[in-house]
Structure 1
Amino acid sequence: MLHPEARVPARGRVGDAAYDLACVEPVTLAPGERALVGTGVAVAIPAGLCGLVLPRSGLAIKHGIACVNAPGLIDPNYRGEVKVILINHGEEPWSAAAGDRIAQLLLVAFAAPELTVVDTLPDSERGAGGFGSSGR
């Protein structure tokens, strides 16, 4: 813990996938405003896993609060404070008190193979079909 008022990330219920992240200081966001919000927590994520910082659905539907870069990525070698970039997409100012849950941290496995540069890619059924290529 980096701050005496920081809350340990915790799951809200047995079986929840993500850990709740709480702000360590009060924050108020005007409509359209964004801020970097500290949690007062640093983590050591095990090798082979990374942390994804995700918005809380209740804050999103009730107040329009989201994470600007959702999901935010925490690499396993990062040891600094976990911070959340929040934005208020709502029409009213929004405030959180110190200790309020503001986001979620989901730990997921990832692969990091060495990349190979090639002149051509192998064919696939989809090919280069992009946005909207699969129909409605």
Structure 2
Amino acid sequence: MLLKIKKVKGFEDLPTPKFMTTGAAGMDLYAAINEQIILKPFERKKIPVGICIELPKGYEAQIRPRSGLTANFGITLLNSPGTIDWDYRGEINIIMINLGNENFIINKGDRVAQIVFNKVETPIIEIVSEIGETSRGINGFGSTGV
């Protein structure tokens, strides 16, 4: 898979997204902001990450929280995972929320999220009057235990 990355004007100095280890599934994304942002408890803000991407047809990118921010500070992402469709060409933004008890400060270049790539299948839709049965059936939330 070839991923084309375009840096947003004014943020060319931010690090290029990269895998931090050879086994990493996601690449880190960096806050593309000019002024410090203070995220108060239970406040949410849209944070740009300074890149546009060109995915090949048939792929998607998912934007996910960074586990260290969540575990250590209660910082996570709304709409998670966020989906970037293959035909989107605008700047990627994330929606951060502070679920912690203290203000959280975001500075230019902070690692704020990660991006993971997946192949996507487009199904052929068939409308039917019945669907196959399983042992679970229609049992939903909590039906398999705690």
User: In which range does the TM-score fall when normalised by the shorter chain?
Assistant: over 0.9
Deviations 1:61-107 (A, max 9, x none): 11100001110000011000010000000000001110010000000
Aligned pairs (5 A) from 1:84-95 = 84-95=94-105
* 2:137 corresponding residue in structure 1: 127
Partner of 2:32: 24
Deviating more after overlay: 122-131 vs 84-93: 122-131
CA RMSD of aligned residues (A): 1.2
Which letter does structure 2 place at the counterpart of 1:32?
Answer: F
Q: Which runs of 4+ in 1 moved over 6 A?
A: none
Equivalent position of 2:9 in the other structure: 3
Instruction: Give the C-alpha shift of residue 127 in structure 1.
Output: 1.2
Q: CA deviation at 1:27?
A: 2.1
CA separation in 1, counterparts of 2:16 and 2:73?
25
Whether contact under 8 Å (1:31, 1:90) holds in the other structure is yes
C-alpha deviation, 1:126, in angstroms: 1.7
Structure 1 position 114, deviation (Å): 2.1
TM-score by structure 1 length? 0.94
1:42 aligns with 2:52: yes
Q: Which residue of 1 aligns with 2:3?
A: none
- Calculate the TM-score normalised by the size of structure 2: 0.88
Shift of the alpha carbon at 1:4? 2.8
Q: How does 1:34-113 map onto structure 2 within 5 Å? A: 34-113=44-123
Deviation of residue 124 (structure 1)? Answer: 1.9
Q: Structure 1: 5+ residue runs without aligned partners? A: none
Q: Secondary structure at the match of 1:17?
A: coil
Provide structure 2 residue ranges, at least 5 long, that are not aligned to the other structure.
1-6
